[in-house]
Structure 1
Amino acid sequence: MGTRTNHLNPMKGGAGLPAHDPTDVWRRPERSPVGPKPEHSRNGIATAALRIADQEGLAAVSIRRVAASIGAGAASLYRYVKSHDELVELMMDAVAGEYQLEADGEHPRGRLLDLAHQGRDIMHRHPWLAPLLLTRPSMGPNSLRFLDAALAALAPVDLSGPAKLQIVAMMSAITSAFVQNELASLTSSGPDENASANRGQYIIDALQAGEYPHLAAAMAGHSATGDADEQFTSAITNYLTGAGIPIQLS
């Protein structure tokens, strides 16, 4: 779900310890060839962590809390994940598995737009996810499958590999920013159905005052209370146009 640019370190194991790369979890086999059969799985651990995060937010997720939710001790959970960062890595990759990636034969724009819309839906189902994708996208197997599918959509387009990777990363960033805006608006406005209309009227009144002529010109014909799906489609489509993704393949 993008390319790695940075990573959080919400779990500090102690002063002076080196930074831990959460992708280390993918370098270790889930099940050791020796020793007793594991009582838990990465998928089960991720599912328990997702349940907590979706209901209470990412701040509520801790190794101790997740361990308790699956009937394990915190110490035993460290047999599966070495840090809070690794736990979040499992969560993000599990969420990436929610994409439906089968779309053979569709035009690159259509396939990318479909992936973007799926990403928006996924971020709404998991409200804690959008900010993380801007700072520490996952590198797990589901996330890599998503990236590969997005690049497959771009295969017919005459652009370099790095340029295609940048397009996928930017699509993820735009989607993340859009969803964060939507979620912030819901949080600040609450369930009031008139909040969006009131905000739109405020913008109209401000523009009609004549103090912002360039903004007024840019928003001419734009509905401040327009359908969010249409606005999102327009944002992604405009980006793909600017990135050089043709409307039709030659």
Structure 2
Amino acid sequence: MASPDRTRVWLRSTDRKGGPAPAHSLDSIGAAAVGLADASGLAGVSMRKVAAAIGAGAASLYRYVASHDELLEVMVDRVAGEYDLSPSSEPAADQLLGLALQGRRIMHRHPWLPPLLLTRPSLGPNTLAYLECALESMAGVDLPEPRKLEAIASLTAITSAFVQNELSAIPAVESAGTEPAVPSHLAAALASGQFPRLARAMLDARPAREPADDVFSGLVRRQLRGEGITCR
């Protein structure tokens, strides 16, 4: 049996004709759900809790979002509205780097977001506006349009994975401004001599570790160069 199409939520919001104006909007529902997720993670988001947050009954919420899956769709798109998509005259690569840097900041504000972007990107209006902006930035790039979409998807995946790695390392930071501590099991494994290349990769360069901003920017630039899109 085919799984329900979670993007139907966007059609449902425009299909209503006549009758009284809806008491709530997808934007307000998404904002309430995002607030719950920011406070307690995705485990803290339920239809009942979102309904309570907007002052509605749980049953009435289903008039707007038919399932928890649709609710996640609305949440991801609500957060996509945080991008600044102002027109820019910068070269394509610099615009894309700027979008990636914005994406990293947004994901840090909403730590529940990266896994969702890796597994279920939204197709809501804010997300479509983001994609249109990114494609517009590449208007002068000599690539087929589908390849441009692939490049945008790759940047989203790289950013999501990078932030997930950053967030997973946070508990290992001993205090502000110190180097992240190597977990004890990993330290023992690296010291065993069984993984010499991994040990050099992870430990030898630690004194010269770059700031995370620079590491991320370099990663994005290398990805863009691979697509033939060069930053300044």
Give your verdict on TM over 0.5: yes
Moved runs in structure 1, 4+ residues, more than 6 A?
217-222
- TM-score of the superposition, structure 1-length normalised? 0.81
Question: Structure 2 residue aligned with 1:58, among 16, 25, 42?
Answer: 42
Q: Does 1:179 align with 2:179?
A: no
Distance 1:129 1:29, change over 3 A: same
Distance 1:210 1:135, change over 3 A: closer
Unmatched runs of 5 consecutive residues or more in structure 1:
1-16
Amino acid at match of 2:80: A
Question: Structure 1 residue aligned with 2:120, among 120, 136, 140?
Answer: 136
Give the Å deviation of 1:29.
3.2
Asked if the contact 1:30–1:80 (Cα under 8 Å) also holds between the matched residues in 2, the reply is: no
**How big is each residue's C-alpha offset from its partner over 1:56-80, in whole Å with a ceiling of 9 and x where there is no partner?**
0011111111001111111011111
Give the Å deviation of 1:199.
3.6
- In structure 2, distance between residues paired with 1:158 and 1:83: 42
Give the Å deviation of 1:189.
1.4
Larger relative CO (CA 8 A, sep 6+): 1 or 2? 1
Q: Does 1:189 align with 2:172?
A: yes
Distance 1:194 1:37, change over 3 A: closer
1:234 corresponds to:
218
1:9 corresponds to:
none
Secondary structure in 2 matching 1:127: coil
- In structure 2, distance between residues paired with 1:153 and 1:84: 34
Give the Å deviation of 1:43.
1.1
Q: Does 1:161 align with 2:142?
A: no
1:47 corresponds to:
31
**How big is each residue's C-alpha offset from its partner over 1:102-138, in whole Å with a ceiling of 9 and x where there is no partner?**
1321111110000000000000011000010011000
Distance 1:190 1:64, change over 3 A: farther
RMSD: 2.8
Number of equivalent positions: 227
1:3 corresponds to:
none
2:10 corresponds to:
26
Distance 1:45 1:172, change over 3 A: same
Secondary structure in 1 matching 2:119: coil
- In structure 1, distance between residues paired with 2:35 and 2:91: 36
Give the Å deviation of 1:198.
4.0
Amino acid at match of 1:192: S
- In structure 2, distance between residues paired with 1:117 and 1:216: 29
Give the Å deviation of 1:88.
1.0
- TM-score of the superposition, structure 2-length normalised? 0.87
Alignment of 1:81-230 (within 5 A): 81-186=65-170, 188-189=171-172, 192-193=175-176, 196-199=179-182, 212=196, 216=200, 225-230=209-214
Instruction: Return the structure number with greater helix share.
Output: 2
Unmatched runs of 5 consecutive residues or more in structure 2:
none
Give the Å deviation of 1:244.
1.3
